[in-house]
Amino acid sequence: MNYPKHVAIIPDGNRTWATENGFIKMAGHLEWFKRMIEIAEHVFTKTSIDVLTVWWLSTENLKNRKQDELEYLFDIYMKIPDQLEKTLKENNVKFRVAGNIWQLPQRLQDYFAKKTEETKDFPWEKTFVLAVNYGGQDEIVRGVNKMINDKLEMINSSDFSWFTPEDLTEYLDFGDLPNVNLVIRTKWDMAKRLSGFLLWWIGYAQLWFTAKKAPELTVEEFTKALDWYDGIIQYQNMGK
């Protein structure tokens, strides 16, 4: 089995699923939370995938969602590392957050810092990434700003020969992790797009779309994406 090193999930359709099934919209987020925990446990106990990144809140979501929905989501975020604690610790999986966390409530910032600290001494081979208040363009802009502040003297010299993609990469959220090999997006019939996710990292990723809504992305459905990826790699290897 050819497993991707880094899988990223765009979980669309929580609110749509809830509406279609006669639930309040918050129920969709809760149901996806349950599926995500199951998938993460499967990834780090049953596969050789190194990194799993899950997008929970985009920069646009933070601006456009109602405050009561955001507060509900913030409460869910504070349950994710706790629910996965046993799996993360037993399998030496680091927990980290990607995105502009400084715009999040202080209680969430403090919680994420605490949970990141708890796994900081684990080796980097296995990592679970929660993307919160994350946008691909925002990551690049923040990275450029960090680089400018760090290399101001070189920039003032007007000699930009030193500037390479590798120079910027080290200032980005995912700079020390392998590039994404497989992107999984749900609700493709309504949203067959990447929505700016991981723009710097998915140039050569395989893209797998499923008509399932995020709360329907079971481990079985997730495994279909892995089997599809394995088939792609086998086909590519035949031509070598």
Residue partners of 102: CB distance under 8 A and separation at least 6: 109
Those residues with Cβ within 8 angstroms of residue 215's Cβ, 6 or more apart along the chain or in another chain: 13, 14, 17, 18, 28, 31, 32, 34, 35
Catalytic sites, residue numbers: 12, 61
Question: What burial letters (b/e) apply to 142-168, b meaning 16+ CB within 10 Å?
Answer: bbeeebeeeeeebeeeeeeeeeeeeeb
Please state the φ and ψ torsions of residue 36, each to the nearest 5 degrees: -65, -40
Q: Tell me whether residue 97 is exposed, middle or buried, using C-beta atoms within 10 angstroms of its C-beta: 0 to 12, 13 to 18, 19 or more.
A: buried
Query: Are the C-beta atoms of 89 and 119 separated by less than 8 Å?
Result: yes
What distance, in Å, lies between the first and last C-alpha atoms of the chain? 18
**Which residues, other chains included, contact 93 with Cβ-Cβ below 8 Å and sequence gap of 6+?**
44, 84, 87, 119, 122, 126, 127, 128
Q: Which residues contact 76 (CB under 8 A, 6 or more apart)?
A: 29, 30, 33, 56
Distance CA 126, CA 159 (A): 38
Q: Which amino acid is at 111?
A: Y
